[in-house]
Amino acid sequence: DNAPVTVLGLGAMGTALAGAFLDAGHPVTVWNRTAGRAADLVARGATEAATAAEAVSASPLVVVCLLNDDTVREVLDGAVGSLAGRTVVNLTNGTPRQAREAADRAAGHGVGYVDGGIMAVPPMIGTPGSLVLYSGSPEGFHAHERTLGALGRAMYLGEDAGLAALYDIALLSAMYGMFGGFFHALALTGSEKVPATEFAPLVAPWLTAMMAAFPGMAEAVDSGDHSAAASNLAMQATAYVNLLDASTDQGVSTELVEPMRALLDQGVAAGLGAGDVSSLVDLLRTAPAGT
Ligand code: NDP
């Protein structure tokens, strides 16, 4: 399979994407706003186009990986005359609303639109650990599924172009929650001069053990039955105060951990204390906008 591919954007990620297509044997045309970032790719066989429109004209599949939605809009608007009949796969990070609006604009120009979310960092692209989420035009995705497979595992979520961004942002939310907890833990232990390198190895096994609760919590969220709890919410709300008090005693900011206390207290006030903390998901979903 040597279908040609165009890649717009040669930041850290766009460069990795173009490299993976080259490694898989595809003719690759690249474009970047600032010239000079394509030298290594050109040495590996890529063709550098002078304009985005010229790059678009080279391939039926146009993969876009730019800074943000405004940038994508600006670049695609500039190349719109060349886009009709092609498939745009936009792997720029964005929101579901941005993806749906991009799909609508593309449809108006006869362009197939697939949105994507890259669940990998650049060195992982093209390795088995890389996952890329896709949603949008089923024809566009399936026509280029094999080519896109060069980037990593390709998961198609459905015709609604916003789904890939929704999953992507949700996975990032889980990641930032984890990073926030890790950072707070290091600030706490660091307050007693425990080297981070000494404490950090304890964290991953602990989190891994706790993650075993995810499937049961997910079932409870789907069924709405949060009654089964080995560690009930009221007990956790009480213990959580120690986490905040210890942080304050140690001179560590509670800004990352304070919101969970408020939510646990809300759960107790709502009469959910005897059940599992998975009921907090319901509280988040029913929170009025802006809270
Ligand atoms: P970089 O900052 O390395 O690259 C940004 C790219 O956007 C460059 O090609 C830059 O061009 C281009 N760009 C910025 N502004 C404009 C503009 N106004 N007009 C045209 N081009 C513009 O970012 P990454 O490559 O790391 O990330 C790209 C996307 O991939 C982002 O949406 C990011 O969230 C996503 N992503 C990145 C991951 C990562 O770990 N790096 C992981 C998963 C997703 P120029 O060279 O001219 O500045």
Complex ipTM: 0.99
Q: Do 99 and 150 reside in the same domain of the chain?
A: yes
In a domain, 229, yes or no: yes
**Interval between CA 119 and ligand 1 midpoint (Å):** 15
Report the 10 Å Cβ neighbour count for 156.
Answer: 19
- CATH number for 81: 3.40.50.720
Query: Is pLDDT above 70 for 288?
Result: no
> Distance between CA 285 and CA 61 in Å, rounded?
38
Tell me, using a 6 A CB cutoff, whether residue 34 lines ligand 1. yes
Tell me, using a 6 A CB cutoff, whether residue 10 lines ligand 1. yes
Among the candidates 130, 158, 186, a domain finishes at 158
> Distance between CA 55 and CA 8 in Å, rounded?
8
**pLDDT tens across 9-42, in order?**
999 999 999 999 999 999 999 999 999 899 999 9
Tell me, using a 6 A CB cutoff, whether residue 278 lines ligand 1. no
> Distance between CA 28 and CA 35 in Å, rounded?
16
Q: Do 153 and 17 reside in the same domain of the chain?
A: yes
The distance of Cα 286 from the centroid of its chain, to the nearest Å, equals 24
Domain with 195, as residue range(s), is: 167-285
**pLDDT tens across 69-114, in order?**
999 999 999 999 999 999 999 999 999 999 999 999 999 999 999 9
Tell me, using a 6 A CB cutoff, whether residue 57 lines ligand 1. no
Report the 10 Å Cβ neighbour count for 134.
Answer: 25
| C-alpha separations of 160 from 72, 79, 89, 93, 261 in Å | 19, 24, 14, 16, 36
**Interval between CA 68 and ligand 1 midpoint (Å):** 7
